[in-house]
A and B are shown apart, each in its own frame.
Chain A
Amino acid sequence: MSDFRVMLASPNFNVSESFFPNINLQDGLNWAEEFIQNVVLPRLPEAVASHFPVELGTVLVMFGCAGIFVAVVPLLPLVLVLAERKVAARFQNRTGPMRVGPWGVLQTLADGVKLLFKEDYIPPQGDKFLFLLAPYVIFACSFAVFAAIPFGQNILVSDFNIGIFYIMAISSVIVMGVIMAGWSSNSKWSLLGSLRSAAQIVSYEIPLGLSILTVIMLVESLSMSEIVASQSNGVFSWLIFRTPFTFIAFFIFFISGIAEVNRTPFDLPEAESEIVAGFHTEYSGMRFALFFIAEYANMFAVSAIAVTLFLGGWEGALPGYDILGGLPGFVIKTSALVFLMMWLRWTLPRLRVDQLMNLCWKYFIPIAFFNILGTGIWGLIFPEDTLVSTGISCAIIYIGLITAYKIAGRTFAERPAPQPS
């Protein structure tokens, strides 16, 4: 708080230890009022300042900040859709969109404008109210998640003390929107898609939550900023390397996350070749665009949460080297995970419903429980996070990876090329 005031109030913009202001709703409404009192009023002429409605100004400032958030975050899907298309094109020896703007950078914008002008079709036999409501539920929920993600030092909308719990809760509401969309469309494909989606999201929420629990057990806090703060001592203090169990938990989290956001190989709810477009088959125009934007926002959000929980959040790889409040580092780490998701999408086929459920209930959930047990025992053996515990953990991870690679390599080598003839 004080840094922010110093920064704006002083004429020669000294960059102190933290560059970005703390827009922190946790402090109640005080911050906006202080902003008015200390920053706005001194700059206004005396006559205006004495009549300035401070309460109204406070609300305006808060709206302004919310507006910035609402304006900036939807730009993410805009970039991600283009990135997805470009990445896909590169995987497939193509160039991707090239016509609109240089290298096709304005393509998603053009697509958005096109969707805006499309006919807004509402199925006459469907449930009109739910049909109209569903895209907003999904859109709102997927963007509300961003409120609790710390993008950098002090760059977070709200530092709840239950941040990660809030994210889990909000992202669970998305499935309601999906079911609403599927039911209200009065289409059998939509219904099948939404039921698939409901089953999938509800199932994968369990390993997702359980792998988050391992992190919470180590950090002993649900607050996102405290989870990041506990990983501030360089790359080996990141929670993924802290214990061997969090290392496993990271992969369970990430794979379950891919299932949560319905991407290949878990894209059954919108499997084009099976159930046409799944729950949004009947949607057109801007309502379809809302689903589309929400999907990409979700993808970024899941990656961002994975980075925050396991890969040090905005903290740099070396302690203390977080440039520009850690924002660039955070974006790079998140983009890497997003790229991994795209990579998987453009490489792998799709699982079947029963195989999807098998993977979740027979493998992920037992492993996730085992992780919790393991993390508890680890906590008993190493109550403090010391150099020794980190060293042992990294050694176990290293040995485990080598063994896994050897086993996998042997099975691949033993597998002869199938030659029926």
Chain B
Amino acid sequence: METTQQTESKIIELKPFADEMVVNMGPQHPSTHGVLRLELKLDGEVVREAIPHIGYLHRCFEKHSENLSYPQIIPFTDRMDYIAAMNQNWGFCLAVEKLLEADESRNFEVPERAEYLRVLICELNRIASHLLSFGTYGMDLGAFTPFLYAFRDRERLLLLFEKVCGARLTYNYVRIGGVSEIIPMEPGSIAEQNYLDEIEAFLDYFEPKIDEYNELLTKNSIFSERTTEVAVMSADMALSYGATGPNLRGSGVDWDLRRDEPYSIYDRFDFDVPVAVDVPELGAVVGDCWCRYKIRMDEMKESVRIVRQILAEGLPDGPVMADLKAVRPPKGEIYFRSEAPRGELGFYIVSDGTPKPVRVKGRSPCFSALSVMQELSRGLMVADIIAIIGSIDIVMGEVDR
């Protein structure tokens, strides 16, 4: 290397294009879904480069975890993806339980009733999460009404969650070894029957609504024009960036951990995994914003199917918590992944046999999805950036952790 170049300061001088405008979209911006900052380099309305800057919501989840006992970490997972907090709790608990199972002296097993309750609640939370995604996506593209429709339905789900755990946003419901017993629901009691009836009433109300929302937004010609063939993410690109969940299936890759690596009791239920296909009537091609969005709409139906199967079977009798004296996993490490609404949620835990973990690492689906942003947005327009952010459905709490 020539040393003269480094000494001359003029050579390092930034030389942007003459008509380039650098705009900071965020961290205070109506549609960055939290506190994301996008550094846009614009040529008029056309985006030359969109560089996501993250870290505005970093709350040291991983470092905190090293100083807390395992049950104390669960409320922190609530704050990761606060839209689907049940699934986050569950993802962490699954990892810890896997570690506990390694200790053969304990003979530890999650009770049947708790497994059913977990699937029930987490699938409902998946619906709530996708509803919010649907609503905000409509609002990002300028349609305000779907947002309020989505929140109206989500409100009923939040009331259902409130009835089991007392909270509307940060549930802390799924615990290590079962689910919380704060609000007791005796097996076979009237309270349980009422609760299941309420869920059934919600499903009966909600299932036709999905079709209504498809009519309102999905098949709307302006909506499809805005989203189809925009930011096409090929299957290769999705895999190489580590996109998971609806983003991966939106690119045509048939992969769902609930079916392909069944954990908990998912192998007992009958459900389909929606995968994107070309829809020539609307001009949608596999991997575009419309397909990613549509996968979520279809997944809500599948979640309804799973919940209906649980309701038909009824909750089994038994305790909701395993008999755990103290959560003290044996020495070892574990990486366990589960299918959260936004994709593969993994927890890597290193234990040294003490009640506190040595290291906890969360694998955030949104973080991987957000990394595609830069490549997807090149050469698109400002309005398309919004369409991409909405379609990859990020929650900044989970990206930053």
Contact = CB atoms under 8 A, between A and B. Distances in A.
Contact of B222 (A196, A351, A415): A351
Contacts of A192: 23, 42, 45, 382
Interface in B132-147: 138-145
Nearest to B141: A349
B284 A418 contact: yes
B142 A267 contact: yes
Contact of A421 (B140, B225, B272): B272
A95 interface: no
B277 to A, nearest CB: 5
Contacts of A196: 45
Contact of A418 (B30, B225, B294): B294
A412 B32 CA distance: 35
Contact of A420 (B44, B45, B214, B294): B294
B142 A349 contact: yes
Contacts of B149: 92-93
A317 interface: no
Nearest to A94: B148
B381 interface: yes
Interface in A332-364: 346-355
A353 B141 contact: no
A93 B382 contact: no
A207 B214 CA distance: 33
B284 A92 contact: no
Interface in B248-286: 272-277, 279, 281-282, 284
A92 B153 CA distance: 12
A346 B143 CA distance: 7
Given A348-B222, A349-B138, A421-B272, A273 B30 contact: yes
A40 interface: no
Contacts of B295: 420
Given A271-B383, A276-B30, A348-B143, A418 B222 contact: no
Interface string B215-229: 011111011011000
B226 A421 contact: no
Interface in A181-202: 188-189, 192, 195-196
A23 interface: no
B148 A93 contact: yes
B216 to A, nearest CB: 8
A264 interface: yes
A346 B142 contact: no
A348 B220 CA distance: 8
Interface in B25-71: 29-31, 42, 44-45
A349 B274 contact: no
A95 to B, nearest CB: 12
A120 interface: no
A88 interface: yes
Given A273-B30, A351-B226, A421 B275 contact: yes
Q: Which 6 residue pairs of A and B lie closest in terms of their CB atoms, listed nearest first?
A: A350-B142, A273-B31, A421-B274, A349-B143, A92-B148, A349-B141
